[in-house]
């Protein structure tokens, strides 16, 4: 059986998937990092507040691309939309990259 859904409905499904990843957001200087745990040496996403660029890990783009049967370019763009929606900040450019966390990164205790 096939279903037809609108682009906005499809975006919402992917947004929900990303919301359920329970990323920890860490703000350091002009960047916001999305990491999975305090021991991560690589972030899944880094958002640069001063220029609006969003660096997204190749692994996350591949995961979304594979899970939702999308090409990597579309996956990168929808992750950028999710970041924009989550942070309520404009994403001007998205880049697939290896996203390192700053040395000595520690998650603030809750």
Cα 79 versus chain centre, distance: 5
Q: What is the DSSP letter of 53?
A: E
At 70 the pLDDT is: 93
Confidence of residue 101 (pLDDT cuts 50, 70, 90): confident
Residue 19 forms part of a structural domain: yes
Give the domain range for residue 54: 7-97
Residue 106 forms part of a structural domain: no
Identify the residue with better confidence: 108 or 79. Answer: 79
Q: Into how many domains does the chain fold?
A: 1
Of the candidate ranges 38-47, 72-81, 99-108, the one whose mean pLDDT is the lowest:
99-108
Task: Please state the length of the chain.
Answer: 110
Mean pLDDT of 30-59: 91
Mean pLDDT of 15-33: 93
Tens digit of each residue's pLDDT (9 = 90 or more) over 61-89: 999 999 999 999 999 999 999 999 999 99
Burial 8-41 (b: 16+ CB within 10 A, else e): eeeeeebbeebeeeebbebeeeebbbbbeeeebe
Residue 109 forms part of a structural domain: no
Cα 31 versus chain centre, distance: 13
Cα 50 versus chain centre, distance: 17
Q: For a pLDDT cut of 90, what percent of the chain falls above it?
A: 65
At 29 the pLDDT is: 87
Residue 60 forms part of a structural domain: yes
Residue 105 forms part of a structural domain: no
Residue 49 forms part of a structural domain: yes
Identify the residue with better confidence: 8 or 70. Answer: 70
């Amino acid at each position: 059986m096939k279903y037809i859904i609108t682009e906005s409905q499809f975006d919402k499904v992917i947004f929900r998937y990303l919301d359920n990843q329970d990323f920890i957001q860490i703000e350091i200087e002009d960047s916001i990092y999305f990491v999975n745990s305090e021991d991560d040496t690589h972030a899944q996403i880094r958002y640069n507040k001063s220029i609006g660029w969003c660096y997204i890990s190749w692994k996350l783009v591949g995961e979304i691309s594979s899970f939702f049967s999308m090409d990597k370019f579309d996956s990168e763009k929808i992750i950028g939309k999710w970041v924009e929606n989550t942070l309520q900040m404009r994403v001007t450019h998205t880049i697939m990259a290896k996203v390192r966390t700053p040395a000595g990164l520690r998650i603030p205790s809750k």
